[in-house]
Amino acid sequence: MLTTHRCAKALQLTLAVIKPDAMAHPLILEALHQRILENNFIIVRSKDLVWRRQDSEKFYSEHAGRFFYQRLVEFMSSGPMRAYVLAREDAITHWRELMGPTKVFRAHYTSPLSIRAQYGLTDTRNTTHGSDSAESARREISFFFPDFSQETWMESEEPGFRKGRMDGPMRAYVLAREDAITHWRELMGPTKVFRAHYTSPLSIRAQYGLTDTRNTTHGSDSAESARREIGFFFPDFSQETWMESEEPGFRKGRMEYDQNKQIHTLPVHS
């Protein structure tokens, strides 16, 4: 499990890309996502995107003039992709070993359990991409994630991840509205991030979730669990008293938002 994995060596960042041929098949995408987690990679960033042709040409400019260049450019701008920033010790080497050889026929013979051996179709439509050196990882991560500071992450977050400390501050709310449990769970989206991307692309987890554990939000799944969980997070809050004395006022729309406390309150009349 990521939460118990320990390593003394500094973590390394690499770029991993799920190519359009794999993105077209949700079950393959799910399988690849699980392979990443099962191999002790930490998902630092993740996003789905579609390239314009000029994006593809710019990324693969070093191959301009090669016999496969036009085919590669057209394929990589043909549909959605998923890009990850992954971290673990020797991340570049481990991800490339997990992918297998670029040539699918070679992958079948030399690395039959690799991603490309199992899911690759051709040497271009070979499901995944990965940086081949620390220098290319820095360049490629910046290309896909221009707002992500690799230096800041290595300085401020890498030590905690290396020690297995993936915990940190949380914010808990008691929310109220008609059918609050159902509406909040619909807003969050499915627990599994890959499923959220396909079934609820505008949901919180689809837009901000990284893994099925690091999926940004939690919500009670029933009235019984809501009572229990609210009692756990807010032991001094009386749900019964609120329902009796304040709920009628809120239901009638008599409320104000307190910017300092960041909660809604009923107006106090003198």
| 231-244 pLDDT tens trace | 888 889 999 999 99
Domain-embedded: residue 175 = no
Separation between Cα atoms, residue 250 and residue 248, nearest integer Å: 6
Query: According to the model, what pLDDT value does residue 90 have?
Result: 94
Query: According to the model, what pLDDT value does residue 163 have?
Result: 79
Residue 53 near residue 73 (C-beta atoms within 8 A) = yes
Domain range for residue 44?
12-162
Domain of 256, CATH number, reads 3.30.70.141
Tens digit of each residue's pLDDT (9 = 90 or more) over 185-220: 999 999 888 888 889 999 999 988 887 778 899 999
The binding site for ATP consists of 19, 68, 96, 102, 116, 126
Query: According to the model, what pLDDT value does residue 2 have?
Result: 35
Query: According to the model, what pLDDT value does residue 168 have?
Result: 66
Provide the mean pLDDT of the chain: 89
Name the amino acid, one letter, at 85: V
Q: Annotated catalytic, 94?
A: no
Q: Determine which one of 25, 183, 218, 264 is catalytic.
A: 218
Model pTM score = 0.64
Number of domains in the chain: 2
Q: Annotated catalytic, 63?
A: no
Tens digit of each residue's pLDDT (9 = 90 or more) over 112-169: 999 999 999 998 899 999 999 999 999 999 999 999 999 999 999 998 888 775 556 7
Query: According to the model, what pLDDT value does residue 144 have?
Result: 96
End residue of a domain, out of 95, 128, 162: 162
Domain-embedded: residue 7 = no
Q: CB count, 10 Å around CB of 263?
A: 12
**Residues 26-42: what's their mean pLDDT?**
90
Indicate if 131 and 221 belong to the same structural domain: no
**Residues 103-108: what's their mean pLDDT?**
93
Indicate if 140 and 209 belong to the same structural domain: no
The binding site consists of 19, 68, 96, 102, 116, 126
Q: Determine which one of 94, 129, 183, 264 is catalytic.
A: 129
SS3 60: coil
Indicate if 99 and 206 belong to the same structural domain: no
Indicate if 97 and 229 belong to the same structural domain: no
